[in-house]
Amino acid sequence: MAISFEPTPSTVESRDYYNRVAREQMRPISRKYDEQEHDLPREWVDWYWETGRKRPASTAKLGDETDGMIQVCVQAEELCWGDAALYLRMPTPALGGSAVAAAGTPEQRKRFLSGFRAEGGHPIWGAMAITEAAAGSDAAAIQTTAELDESSDEWVLNGTKIFCTAGEGASQAEGGFVVIWATVDRSAGRAGIKSFVVPAGTPGMKLEGCEKKLGIRASDTATLVLEDCRVPRGNLLGSAEVKKRDAKKTGDKGFKGAMATFDASRPIVAAMAVGVGRAALDFTLEELERNGIRVRWEAGLHEQSAVERDLLEMQAELQAARLLTWRAARMLSLGKANSLEASMAKAKAGLSVTRITQKAVELLGPPGYSTRMLAEKWMRDAKINDIFEGTQQINQLIVARRILDYPSSVLR
């Protein structure tokens, strides 16, 4: 499939706007909220809610002939060039909204997502809770249960979710919601996994606390406990039917629909990684030039210094990750299956940003390792891109399965 990697004028305009936001609104407070990990970055949240969200957003409609989804990735890259953790702290539907869009009915999408488009009001968040102590990369091992109480026509959820991005805001702020993955039938395995929308403040959903993390510290990564948490029957996304044997053939949108969320979210996470990597590379180049060191990009490899070769490799890694990301995004906009491409982009970007930021700290010397510069922060922020939304190993497995056409039972 031919894909143009030349951004449209609309994408260029969007890129320039979000770069200004990153420079003027995010970078000045980046260090502050890295150090004040669990404080709400009020000035950023309020600014985004009142100003940033009013900018017309590009919508990535299936079959769209524009580069709508690429614009979403460009926005993620620019804002994460500013600060990845603050990007994750933006009051948006985020992964919760992606799950509703992937597995919900048209009525559910309208009901649960319309509030985020309303004018005025107050900041609200969306989140998705999958991970458990015994269910990380293997989402099919989820132990959280959902039982239908016929007498009240409600689902009753019980279990504990950990490492839930935006979980604090989504579970506490009025108007927010968390999409909880739970099993309605443990004997059915992954076919029994369904997703449920739990509005903020629902009795029985308790915020246990937020993680202290290596990186992306301004982001709220929460533990949520569900104890007889009741939601209406209609809050189950998609169908409640469990098809144990023929779920693959019938296209059951329970587990498969929820997993389809990652085909849309992985290119965005890859774009986030590109943004962090570019921040580190840009800064390193600026510092070297400030100290009288100019990179001779045009020189042959046999003429370049070791530092120049390192920087050339960093630039190549960054560009490769970006192009893979844009390919996966473009396919999504056109309504084409992109599971392979989304995992390729995520795996490449996660690995590249880890290498680029580590090399940046190395090239900058002792100041780069100190808090005098943001380089050490970018190195810490980078690693999560190799872990969440599917670890490096999981995405490589997905790529291998798609290329070799092997099921998970054969290649694991």
389 is catalytic: yes
CB 61 within 8 A of CB 333: yes
**CA 167, CA 94: separation in Å to the nearest integer?**
11
Exposure on the CB side of residue 142, measured as CA atoms within 13 A: 29
How far, in Å, CA of 69 to CA of 75, rounded?
Answer: 10
Q: Tell me how crowded residue 230 is: count the other CB atoms within 10 A of its CB.
A: 17
- Rounded CA-CA distance 247/190 in Å is 10
Question: Taking a C-beta distance cutoff of 8 angstroms, is the pair 252, 160 a contact?
Answer: no
For 322, counting Cβ atoms within 10 Å of its Cβ (0-12 exposed, 13-18 middle, 19+ buried), the class is buried
Q: What is the β-pairing status of strands 126-129 and 177-183?
A: parallel
Q: Which two structure tokens, joined as six digits, stand for 100?
A: 């509703």
Q: Which of 78, 168, 341, 389 is catalytic?
A: 389
Distance, CA of 136 to CA of 95 (rounded, Å): 16
Copy the structure tokens of residue 188. 């059915």
- Rounded CA separation 247/265 (Å): 23
- The torsion angles phi and psi of 72, rounded to 5 degrees, stand at -60, -40
Distance CA 239, CA 149 (A): 16
Q: Which residues are catalytic?
A: 389
